[in-house]
Amino acid sequence: MPELPEVEVTRLSFADRIQGAQIQSVHLGKPLRWPIGCVPSTLKGLTVKRVNRRGKYLLIEMDPSLLILHLGMSGSLRFEQASPNSSVTTKLHDHFVMQTNLGTLTLNDPRRFGAVVFAPTPHSHIVDKLLGRLGVEPLGEGFTPEFLYKALKTRKLSIKQALLGGQIVVGVGNIYASESLFLAGIRPTRSSAKVTKAQSVLLHKAICETLKRAIEVGGSTLQNFSNAMGESGYFQLESFVYARQGQPCRRCKTPIKQIVQGQRSTFYCPTCQK
């Protein structure tokens, strides 16, 4: 599943290119996770003002209306700039195709767990339903070591699952939670309520550095992820623990272990993480 770095990398790859574009047509393929919530033709003539992100959601803002996009488990966006007399060519699993005067934005999603949802205004019920309960942005000003420490104290579950939940901080998915906990020296099974203030400082730093680095190298391409220009990411080549079960730790040479937490694979070093 694309995580925050992949979603941000996707946003950066097409946001400037589509800004100011006027929507000419919208074509829907097979149904996605949720209905779009409007007749596609009502989008014709609207102008894209900007593209933002909230957690793993992309927000195509048209003032005051917006489209909320989620890539689901296997989705990816493709943006093809317009050329004279160009026509729209769809591919297998293209389920949302938005043609504009500047180019065509397409959501391709083989498993169809992704979504494109229309909201008339930023205060619409659907916006609150999808975004209202999300935690703070990990690269925003609201995410501080003190905030993290206090929030973890209120959770009665493992630190790994607390990070994945999204109510404390958004976008720290399975890959980046495992990597951040390794850098902070915290075992993923430790109770979140038992994480000390000093450990919270280390974990805060690790989360920020891990996500920033992942964005720098284009995210992680484990299966078929690519940004809107078709470019793959390379963070997986730098991972310390993720998907390295049985291989020696890059620091102490102890074999990396794999366990299952909440039906998700977790990877850690039994020596470096306490």
Domains of the chain (ranges; CATH) run 4-131 (3.20.190.10), 145-268 (1.10.8.50)
DSSP state of 217: T
Q: Which of 50, 54, 205, 264 is catalytic?
A: 264
Stated as kind and residue range, the H or E segment containing 8 is helix 4-18
Q: Do you find a cis peptide bond into 64, omega within 30 degrees of 0?
A: yes
Per-residue pLDDT band for 165 (boundaries 50, 70, 90) equals: very high
- What is the separation of C-alpha 189 from the centre of its chain, rounded to a whole number of angstroms? 24
Positive or negative: CA dihedral 146, 151, 157, 163: negative
Q: What is the pLDDT of residues 107-138, one digit of tens each?
A: 999 999 999 999 999 999 999 999 999 999 99
What are the pLDDT digits (tens) for 191-219?
A: 999 999 999 999 999 999 999 999 999 88
The model's confidence at residue 86, banded by pLDDT at 50, 70 and 90, is low
Contacts of 270 (CB under 8 A, 6+ apart): 187, 254, 257
Select which of 17, 56, 78, 160 is catalytic. 56
Q: What's the pLDDT at 224?
A: 63
Q: What backbone phi and psi angles, to 5 degrees, belong to 6?
A: -65, -40
Catalytic-role residue among 2, 5, 138, 188? 2
For residue 2, indicate whether it is catalytic. yes
**pTM for the full predicted model:** 0.91
What φ, ψ does residue 98 adopt, rounded to 5°?
Answer: -115, 110
* pLDDT higher than threshold 70 for residue 85: no
Residue 187 sits at φ, ψ, to 5 deg, of -70, 135
Report which residue type is found at 32.
Answer: L
Catalytic pick from 3, 6, 8, 80? 3
- Percentages helix, strand, coil for the chain (3-state, rounded to 5) are 30, 25, 45
Residues 224-243 pLDDT 10s: 677 777 877 878 889 999 99
DSSP class of residue 136 equals B
- Residue 176 in contact with residue 211, Cβ under 8 Å? yes
Mark whether 56 is an active-site residue: yes
Average pLDDT value over all residues in the chain? 93
pLDDT, position 228 = 76
